[in-house]
Chain A
Amino acid sequence: DGGITQSPKYLFRKEGQNVTLSCEQNLNHDAMYWYRQDPGQGLRLIYYSQIVNDFQKGDIAEGYSVSREKKESFPLTVTSAQKNPTAFYLCASGTPTNQPQHFGDGTRLSIL
């Protein structure tokens, strides 16, 4: 079945450490997205990529970095510069049409 796979499901970060969240899709979508979700705050866009080797900052990009070397993959790195990284992270993919975005099952990041 086509879909989006996020791993790991749960991740713990130590102070001063960078961690990378994986997102892979087999839907052949050109665009991929990373959102952060905090309790009661809905979804906030971190980064998005419309095409391989290109990406744009979203509303809360500070402290995060991404790469898009393959169409299927869009990993997110939470750097030590992100002072409040505890949140639920959602990856999505889509197309520049009238069709909706598809979402992965999320990664919950916590601080040790």
Chain B
Amino acid sequence: AQSVTQLDSQVPVFEEAPVELRCNYSSSVSVYLFWYVQYPNQGLQLLLKYLSGSTLVKSINGFEAEFNKSQTSFHLRKPSVHISDTAEYFCAVKDGGFKTIFGAGTRLFVKA
């Protein structure tokens, strides 16, 4: 069965510092990988996705994630965070079927 592990439950970081949110998955088949962001009292919004092709994918607000098949990882990075990036981030994996498996989430807290 597929599983997703987000290695950090909380990540505090100062504004303008770089950040990495770690995600590892386990699967024996080809997978599609996603990062979602959730602001308080809102639903999940898709941040970026890896479907195929280039292993480095980027979002419009400066986040990027790299698919590493050998390490079964899909870590999320941003070189300089803003206060507005404070949110919960979920890594997710899908194998093309109906179900999506979500990690437990990482709460990013950006301090001034």
**Which A residues fall within an 8 A CB radius of B?**
4, 6, 31, 40-43, 45, 48, 50, 88, 90, 92, 94, 96-98, 100-106, 108
Contact = CB atoms under 8 A, between A and B. Distances in A.
Contacts of B94: 98, 100
Interface string B7-26: 00100000000000000000
B32 to A, nearest CB: 4
Given A42-B90, A42-B104, A94 B43 contact: no
A103 B44 contact: yes
Interface residues of B, number: 25
A103 B43 CA distance: 6
A94 B100 contact: yes
Contact of B43 (A31, A40, A96, A105): A105
Contacts of B34: 100
